[in-house]
Amino acid sequence: MFQLIDGKATSTTIKDEIAEEVIQLVKNGGKVPHLAAILVGHDGASETYVASKERSCSKVGFISTVIRLEDSITETELLEKVNEINKDPDIDGLIVQLPLPKHINEQKVIEAILPEKDVDGFHPVNVGKMVIGLPGFISATPAGILELLKRYRIKTSGKSCVVIGRSNIVGKPMSILLSQKTEFGNATVTLCHSRTPNLKEVCAQADIIIAALGKAEFLTADMVKEGAVVIDVGITRVKSEKTKSGWKLLGDVKFDEVAPKCSYITPVPGGVGPMTIVSLLRNTLLASKKEIYKGIS
């Protein structure tokens, strides 16, 4: 019988912990953490994510500001906005919701955010620090997955881990964090992607599989070993007549057939997604306390 890894319940517990920390922080004369999000255009998924981030901020007692900009904004104008927020001492963390319109160079925008305000952990300085094991902001989804593994006491040390997908946001950092010399690292990691020829065989020998390729219901039962731990990072929105919103979310894992083979598995929704937001809150709290970039104001 598999155990469901309940990201929603875990995220609620952590949000309560963060809310308590904020109360104590303010009581001791600290400032209320403030997260700013830039949202360009009207992409449905991005609107949903940003709204959810706003709700979570208010739940834990943070201030949040959403800066909405039209699709027609130029790269220069967006970079100016980022600079303005960089200089605003009241704002602790800044995220620019991705994807951005085609005419804007995403990497340029990411690199314009001050590393000490980059609570998404996307800036090369933070990525570099993560790679060599220095304190920095860790990208929210991998950090959320590690937190789930910790809280469910799932051992990674000495385990064989397969990460499917090599994105800068999830697959790449996840593979590095799991192989690091840390308590929730020390795994032997294989990073698979679209050019991996024998993916099924590689997955079928894994103790832990992280599916982060963004293809709905890609991972099937024949690719999973009996007793494996499966973490599903996928969120593909598909039209549905059964839901009020007209959409439903599908993971990268064919849950119904994979789950019975697993020791632990995350559902979609309610698995990794809520943990991603919690990591963002945690990073914002760290940014406001200046615990990672000490002494930088």
Measured from the CB atom, the residue of 190 and 273 that comes closer to ligand GUN is: 273
Phi, psi dihedrals of residue 277, rounded to the nearest 5°: -65, -40
Within its chain, how far is the Cα of 122 from the centroid? 11
- Burial label, 48 (beta-carbon count in 10 A; 0-12, 13-18, 19+): middle
Contact 86, 114 (CB under 8 A): yes
Asked if 210 contacts 145 with a C-beta cutoff of 8 angstroms, the reply is yes
CB of 42 to ligand GUN, least distance (A): 15
- 200/256 Cα distance (integer angstroms): 18
Residues that bind ligand GUN (CB under 6 A): 95-98, 120, 140
CB of 111 to ligand GUN, least distance (A): 14
Comparing CB distances to ligand GUN, the nearer of 223 and 231 is: 231
Nearer to ligand GUN, 96 or 189 (CB): 96
The minimum distance between CB 6 and ligand GUN, in angstroms, equals 21
Tell me the residue nearest to ligand GUN as measured from the CB. Answer: 98
Element (H, E) at 201: helix 199-204
Amino acid at 130: M
CA distances from 79 to 35, 62, 105, 125 (A): 18, 25, 10, 18
Q: Which residue, 109 or 253, has its beta carbon nearer to ligand GUN?
A: 109
Nearest approach, Cβ of residue 93 and ligand GUN (Å): 11
C-beta of residue 161 within 8 angstroms of C-beta of residue 207 = yes
By annotation, the residues acting in catalysis are 53, 97, 120
